[in-house]
């Protein structure tokens, strides 16, 4: 099939196609894919993929005057120039920083971005997914570390948490009857204005809202972000003897509630938190990630982390919870050889994101579950088993080839095959990630050919990010609860994502306690109301015990806050070196670096002692 040369990623390219009669598979924020018929404004049309009812797909029509939220990776030093140029196209600028501009651009001006020479790549907004007593003890020796420096509590350091929010009413985020949140930011899509907006609320407004809750949006309707913030910096005020306190108990907090966890919200949050911090050191926690992109540090959000990080500016990212999910396929194709990638339809709209090194020439065939073979041509193609669309583009930044396959089929559990022929091969490395719209279905996509590697999600793949995996620090949900079968203290959590990255970077960097961690429970949240969390809630429903690399990450975030209290100008590279040389190695970690534990398990006592010696 023909290789597309364009600055627009697959989703934006499909939105920009001008053919009113053609059926398209498009991406809407990469939250889902639909069979779409572009129509005149205000019209709708049902589309039935006869003959079978199971092949009927929901249809939508998009208004070409609507705005699209996107990220522009631009040439260094041209940020203001690009902002001016796209403003002239009717775009509204959301955020401008080094090498990345975030903007809302009209649908009907997407094609004009190709003519802006300074733009290197345009990416559609992507939805990411949210991925202490025992953790303080033998698992990490945090309490022993604080015996060395009892004054360490995060004072003078800003801890930013960009997530599903922070329950600003929870006692763990209040001190002396004042909120510990210096700022609360609510990032969300506003239907009335057709824009993503970022509403800010000051500490004074938060304190007023604690008396009159209707003055502010709910802090955290989900509960995930509150739990993470509590691990990093909660003071344990709602627990007996502050047993369930976090790591940096006196740090200043900035919370960002992102409805949808769009990466454009994350970018805005990163820049805004560092602005709010000013001259103070700051560390940001991102317990989230995804797999839509190159996994090599060149995406917009990875670029932002690289550019915004520096002395006293640290970003910590969860490695991901896909360690056992078989979402990655890796292989080598030789000259004249053919490899097959069998994949299972796990969702009604199944996607494969395939990367081929620059310099290699390959061709593709699609084999549906009936055995029918189709050569993709870049258009929507139908078989008796379902409809699919493939797009092949050469990325303008890393110059690698990106093949996107979207299959619309409601016959879940059926096996399809992607064949790749090595026509002219120099390298031959093939990496594919399987993606679904429902995260609960995103596993076992490559049942017979999946690899237990390369599952670290973006943006943890960025070199300057501190990427955190999870190990087991306890064997039960609650302090005196029944042990969970198959769980061994000190072992790698089965869900913890494995490295390396697609370009061979050594991620994760470190592992920390992530299973089963007790921390603050957001009031009136999903975790507070959902029956499946009932046996995990305790201390008068002020705390809950859950697990994930999402929980391991804020533990490291809190530790870095303590380090920045000791030395405010530490760089990401210096912190990674200290984590590396002080990490605990044992029979469970094996030799390091490895794809499972990174450089080993976090050892807080060794870390603080090392920094203390080097500051003397």
What b/e string do you get for 279-303 counting C-beta neighbours within 10 Å, with b at 16 or more? Answer: eebbbbbbbbbbbbbbbbbbbbbbb
What angle (nearest 5°) sits at the alpha carbon of residue 520, between those of residues 515 and 524? 120
Tens of pLDDT, residues 258-283: 999 999 999 999 999 999 999 999 99
| Between 337 and 614, residue with greater pLDDT | 337
Work out the average pLDDT over 215-243.
95
Q: How many separate helices (H) and strands (E) can be counted in the chain?
A: 12, 32
pLDDT value at 114 more than 70:
yes
How do 158-163 and 252-258 pair as beta strands? Answer: parallel
pLDDT value at 444 more than 50:
yes
Task: Supply the pLDDT for residue 245.
Answer: 92
Burial tier of 92 (Cβ tally within 10 Å: 0-12, 13-18, 19+):
middle
Give yes or no for a contact between 111 and 16, defined as CB atoms under 8 angstroms apart. yes
Q: How confident is the model at residue 205 (pLDDT cuts 50, 70, 90)?
A: very high
d(CA 163, CA 209): 21
Task: Supply the pLDDT for residue 475.
Answer: 65
What angle (nearest 5°) sits at the alpha carbon of residue 555, between those of residues 549 and 558? 140
Contacts of 2 (CB under 8 A, 6+ apart): 378, 392
Give yes or no for a contact between 450 and 444, defined as CB atoms under 8 angstroms apart. yes
Task: Supply the pLDDT for residue 477.
Answer: 57
Task: Supply the pLDDT for residue 235.
Answer: 97
Instruction: For 463-497, give the secondary structure using H, E and C.
Output: CCCEEEEEEECCCECCCCCCECCCCCCCCECCCCC
| Between 494 and 35, residue with greater pLDDT | 494
Work out the average pLDDT over 313-323.
96
CB atoms within 10 A of CB 237: 18
Work out the average pLDDT over 99-105.
96
pLDDT value at 36 more than 80:
no
| Between 10 and 73, residue with greater pLDDT | 73
| Between 489 and 98, residue with greater pLDDT | 98
How do 349-356 and 401-408 pair as beta strands? Answer: antiparallel
- Here the tokens at position 529 are 């109301």
Q: Which fold has domain 146-322+460-615?
A: Rossmann fold (3.40.50)
pLDDT value at 467 more than 90:
yes
Classify residue 599 as left (phi > 0), alpha (psi -120 to 50) or beta.
alpha
Give yes or no for a contact between 249 and 171, defined as CB atoms under 8 angstroms apart. no
| Between 378 and 136, residue with greater pLDDT | 378
Work out the average pLDDT over 219-229.
97
Work out the average pLDDT over 125-133.
74
d(CA 573, CA 571): 5
| Between 342 and 480, residue with greater pLDDT | 342
Q: How confident is the model at residue 486 (pLDDT cuts 50, 70, 90)?
A: low
Q: How confident is the model at residue 52 (pLDDT cuts 50, 70, 90)?
A: very low
Level-2 CATH architecture, domain 328-449? Sandwich (2.60)
- % of the chain residues with pLDDT over 70: 86
pLDDT value at 594 more than 60:
yes
What angle (nearest 5°) sits at the alpha carbon of residue 510, between those of residues 506 and 516? 135
Give yes or no for a contact between 303 and 100, defined as CB atoms under 8 angstroms apart. yes
Least Cα distance to 78 among 24, 115, 117, 30 occurs for 117
- Here the tokens at position 208 are 């007023």
- Here the tokens at position 101 are 């501009």
Task: Supply the pLDDT for residue 481.
Answer: 52
**What is the secondary structure of 235-264 as a DSSP string?**
--TTSGGGTT--SSTT-EEEEEEETT-BHH
Task: Supply the pLDDT for residue 143.
Answer: 64
Task: Supply the pLDDT for residue 370.
Answer: 93
Collapsed DSSP state (helix, strand, coil) of residue 216:
coil
Work out the average pLDDT over 146-169.
92
Q: In which residue ranges of the chain is CATH 3.40.50.200 found?
A: 146-322+460-615
pLDDT value at 254 more than 90:
yes
Task: Supply the pLDDT for residue 11.
Answer: 79
How do 338-344 and 466-472 pair as beta strands? Answer: unpaired
Burial tier of 26 (Cβ tally within 10 Å: 0-12, 13-18, 19+):
buried
What average pLDDT is seen over the chain? 87
- Here the tokens at position 475 are 């064997």
What b/e string do you get for 396-425 counting C-beta neighbours within 10 Å, with b at 16 or more? Answer: bebebbbbbbbbbbbbeebebbbbbebeeb
Work out the average pLDDT over 418-425.
98
pLDDT value at 219 more than 70:
yes
Task: Supply the pLDDT for residue 27.
Answer: 38
The phi, psi pair for 551, rounded to 5°, reads -85, -30
Give yes or no for a contact between 377 and 386, defined as CB atoms under 8 angstroms apart. no
| Between 393 and 49, residue with greater pLDDT | 393
Contacts of 174 (CB under 8 A, 6+ apart): 180, 210, 237
**What is the secondary structure of 100-132 as a DSSP string?**
EEEEEEEGGGGGGGGG-TTEEEEEE--B-EE--
Least Cα distance to 401 among 336, 344, 353, 446 occurs for 353
Tens of pLDDT, residues 492-511: 999 999 999 999 999 999 99
Least Cα distance to 350 among 304, 286, 417 occurs for 417
What b/e string do you get for 181-196 counting C-beta neighbours within 10 Å, with b at 16 or more? Answer: bbbbbbbbbeeeeeeb
Work out the average pLDDT over 454-465.
97
pLDDT value at 43 more than 70:
no
Work out the average pLDDT over 49-78.
59
Tens of pLDDT, residues 174-193: 999 999 999 999 999 999 88
Among the listed ranges 26-40, 100-114, 398-412, 428-442, which one has the minimum average pLDDT value?
26-40
Q: What is the pTM of this model?
A: 0.89
Among the listed ranges 199-208, 295-304, 465-474, which one has the minimum average pLDDT value?
465-474
pLDDT value at 568 more than 50:
yes
- Here the tokens at position 593 are 């670096």
- Which H or E run includes 379? none
The phi, psi pair for 491, rounded to 5°, reads -80, 160
């Amino acid at each position: 099939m023909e290789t597309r040369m364009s600055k627009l990623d697959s989703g934006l390219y499909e939105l920009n196609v001008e053919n009113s009669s053609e059926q398209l598979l498009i991406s809407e924020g990469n939250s889902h894919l639909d069979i779409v018929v572009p129509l005149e404004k205000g019209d709708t049309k049902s589309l039935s993929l006869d003959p079978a009812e199971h092949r009927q797909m929901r249809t939508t029509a998009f208004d070409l005057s609507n705005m699209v939220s996107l990220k522009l990776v631009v040439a260094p030093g041209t940020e203001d120039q690009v902002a001016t140029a796209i403003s002239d196209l009717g775009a509204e600028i959301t955020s401008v920083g080094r090498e990345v501009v975030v903007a809302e651009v009209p649908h009907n001006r997407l094609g004009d971005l190709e003519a802006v020479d300074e733009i290197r790549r345009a990416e559609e907004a992507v939805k990411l997914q949210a991925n202490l007593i025992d953790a303080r003890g033998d698992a990490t020796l945090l309490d022993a570390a604080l015996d060395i420096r009892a004054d360490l509590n995060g004072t003078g350091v800003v801890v930013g948490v960009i997530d599903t929010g922070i329950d600003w009413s929870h006692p763990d985020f209040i001190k002396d009857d004042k909120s510990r949140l210096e700022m609360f930011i609510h990032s969300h899509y506003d239907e009335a204005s057709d824009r993503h907006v970022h509403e800010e609320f000051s500490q004074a407004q938060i304190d007023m809202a604690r008396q009159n809750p209707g003055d502010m949006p709910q802090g955290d309707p989900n509960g995930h972000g509150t739990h993470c913030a509590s691990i990093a910096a909660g003071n344990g005020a709602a627990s007996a003897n502050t047993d369930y306190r976090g790591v940096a108990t006196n740090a200043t907090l900035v919370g960002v509630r992102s409805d949808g966890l769009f990466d454009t919200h994350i970018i805005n949050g990163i820049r805004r938190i560092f602005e709010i911090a000013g001259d103070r050191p700051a560390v940001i926690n991102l317990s989230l990630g995804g797999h839509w992109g190159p996994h090599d540090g060149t995406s917009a959000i990875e670029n932002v982390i690289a550019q915004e990080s520096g002395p006293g500016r640290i970003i910590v990212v969860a490695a991901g919870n896909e360690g056992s999910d078989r979402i990655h396929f890796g292989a080598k194709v030789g000259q004249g050889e053919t490899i097959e990638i069998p994949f299972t339809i796990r969702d009604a709209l199944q996607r494969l994101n395939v990367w081929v090194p620059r310099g290699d020439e390959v061709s593709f065939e699609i084999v549906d579950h009936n055995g029918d073979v189709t050569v993709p041509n870049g258009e929507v193609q139908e078989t008796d088993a379902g409809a699919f669309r493939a797009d092949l583009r050469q990325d303008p930044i890393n110059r690698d080839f990106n093949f996107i396959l979207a299959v619309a089929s409601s016959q879940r559990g059926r096996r399809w095959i992607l064949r790749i022929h090595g026509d002219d091969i120099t390298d031959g490395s093939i990496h594919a990630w399987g993606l679904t719209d429902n995260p609960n279905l995103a596993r076992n996509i490559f049942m017979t050919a999946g690899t237990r590697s390369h599952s670290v999600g973006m943006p943890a793949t960025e070199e300057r990010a501190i990427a955190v995996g999870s190990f087991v620090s306890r064997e039960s949900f609650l302090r005196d609860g029944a042990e969970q079968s198959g769980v061994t203290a000190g072992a790698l959590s089965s869900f913890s994502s494995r490295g390396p990255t697609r370009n061979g970077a050594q991620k994760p960097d470190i592992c920390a306690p992530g299973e089963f961690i007790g921390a603050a429970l957001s009031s009136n949240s999903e975790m507070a109301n959902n029956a499946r969390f009932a046996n995990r809630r305790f201390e008068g429903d002020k705390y809950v015990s859950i697990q994930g690399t999402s929980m391991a990450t804020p533990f490291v975030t809190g530790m870095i806050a303590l380090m920045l209290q000791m030395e405010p100008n530490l760089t990401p590279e210096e912190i990674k070196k200290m984590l590396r040389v002080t990490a605990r190695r044992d029979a469970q970690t094996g030799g390091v670096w490895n794809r499972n534990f990174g450089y080993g398990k976090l050892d807080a006592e060794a870390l603080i002692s090392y920094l203390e010696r080097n500051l003397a």
